[in-house]
Amino acid sequence: MSAGTPALSPAASVPAQVAAVRKVYASGRTRPVAWRKAQLKALMRMLSEREQEFAAALQADLGKNALEAYLTEISITRAEAAHALKHLADWTRTTRVPVPLGLQPASAKVEPQPLGVVLIIAPWNYPVQLLLAPLIGALAAGNAAVLKPSELAPATSAAIARILPEYLDPEAVVVIEGAQEVSQALLAERFDHIFYTGGERVGKIVMRAAAEHLTPVSLELGGKSPAVVLDGNLTSIARRLAYGKLINAGQTCVAPDYVLVTEEAAPKLLRALAKVMREFVGKDPSRSANYGRIVNEGHFDRLTGYLADGTVVSGGRSSREDLYIEPTVLADVPLDAPVMQEEIFGPILPVVTVRDLDQAMEIINARPVPLASYLFTSSASQQRRFEQGVRAGSVNHNAAIVQLAVPELPFGGAGASGMGAYHGKHSFDTFSQARPVFSKGTLLDTLRVAYPPYNGFKGRI
């Protein structure tokens, strides 16, 4: 830039930045498997060497405990990269397929191809994992990528923008920080795939913008993930629910949003929930190093509004100044109360009693399709009925959230909770085209039999 030339605003510089990434992709640099492997290894090294910096940023943005940050952001992402690295040779392999007799001699094969330049837009709640896990799939498949971290986790966004270029190819993987204006400038560009994680409202904006360029999208959205409790060790069930609900102070897309419990099990479950929450974060969770904070005032106000939607069984205290909301269990909640209509995304757990599994499934299926569903019972037949009767991004028995740590399981929503899935090979497939290649020689003109005029065919078909 010459002296006196005004600097472009972040949004105004987007077209040139995207064009530069496209040029790198067009040069073929990202296609060799060696380049992909080098990127994945560098990403793993970055997560190990710079873990402290990411942990400090996550603490600043969300009050995330260092161990929680390690487990849910660093190690899970590194495991995803290690899995991709281990299986890359297999995933990138060309598959020969048989050719029908009438077309022979010929050969046919399917070759996974990168899509091109992909855009990854991430949210604030797991701002490292939800930006880098899709990137792993994009790199494994040989794409160049533009990354847009969330402005609502500013320390993490800045850390990523600073650290990533030190490890990854800085011309093929570009981080563009910013809020809505930058996002919209990005969405005006043509990409070969857009991978968006976040809420439904913006999901629709992304899909509308993508339609303009006929760009395929993955939408990783949220929803009210139900947990149904029928029977079992209620203390252990309460621990699993509380773990899923309290991690990241409830700001987890697959957190159990609400509980449907049989009238019989309800009193014991409510007591157990109060007890295990104290066990996890102490009598005064505001002093606990194991308990996070709400991301901003807007979400704090929305969440504290829910506290009046039922009877507070445990918890209920909050401090706006500290963005703190005590883990809270609500009972006597009407099904039409806002806390039972909107995704909670915070440490408030409404518990609603039901007659049986049928009534629970009716309540679940009357709502938009959730990202995850959880059933707690030891009955295999009830488990099968739940699997068959409920529509959700995933079905999980007797555990919550930990399903995310299985790299072979596709992670994604259905209906209102999103479209497309990733993790492991599913990420590779999301960012690849399964391209068919058919080839034949010209020496023997064996296709002549199918050419017009068709008179010769009569009677033969």
Instruction: Output the furthest CA–CA distance in the chain (Å, rounded).
Output: 89
DSSP state string for 101-133: GGG-SEEEEEEEEE-SEEEEE--SSSTTHHHHH
Site for ligand NAD in 396-425 (CB under 6 A): 413, 418
**Alpha-carbon distance 164 to 159, whole Å?**
8
- x-or-dash pattern for ligand NAD, window 341-360, by CB under 6 A? --x-x---------------
- x-or-dash pattern for ligand NAD, window 205-224, by CB under 6 A? x--------------xxx--
Contact 65, 290 (CB under 8 A): yes
Count of residues in contact with ligand NAD, rule CB under 6 A: 29
**Alpha-carbon distance 137 to 424, whole Å?**
7
Give the residue nearest to ligand NAD (CB): 222
Task: Report the half-sphere exposure of 216 (CA within 13 A, side-chain side).
Answer: 15
Nearer CB in complex with ligand NAD: 150/314: 150
Assigned token pair, 188: 């005006």
| Closest distance to ligand NAD from the beta carbon of 418 (Å) | 6
The correct pick among 15, 165, 199, 232 for binding ligand NAD (CB under 6 A) is 199
Q: Which residue bears the tokens 């896990």?
A: 133
Q: Note if 220 is an active site residue.
A: yes
Q: Catalytic: which of 51, 68, 80, 220?
A: 220
184 binding ligand NAD? (CB under 6 A): yes
Nearer CB in complex with ligand NAD: 141/295: 295
The correct pick among 121, 227, 276, 329 for binding ligand NAD (CB under 6 A) is 121
- x-or-dash pattern for ligand NAD, window 297-336, by CB under 6 A? ----------------------------------------
| Closest distance to ligand NAD from the beta carbon of 185 (Å) | 10
The correct pick among 63, 114, 198, 250 for binding ligand NAD (CB under 6 A) is 198
Buried b (16+ CB within 10 A) or exposed e, 191-201: bbbbbbbbebe
Separate counts of helices (H) and strands (E) for the chain: 15, 18
Buried b (16+ CB within 10 A) or exposed e, 310-320: bebbbbbebee
Task: Report the half-sphere exposure of 433 (CA within 13 A, side-chain side).
Answer: 13
Binding residues for ligand NAD, per CB under 6 A? 121-125, 130, 148, 150-152, 179-180, 183-184, 187, 197-199, 202, 205, 220-222, 253, 343, 345, 371, 413, 418
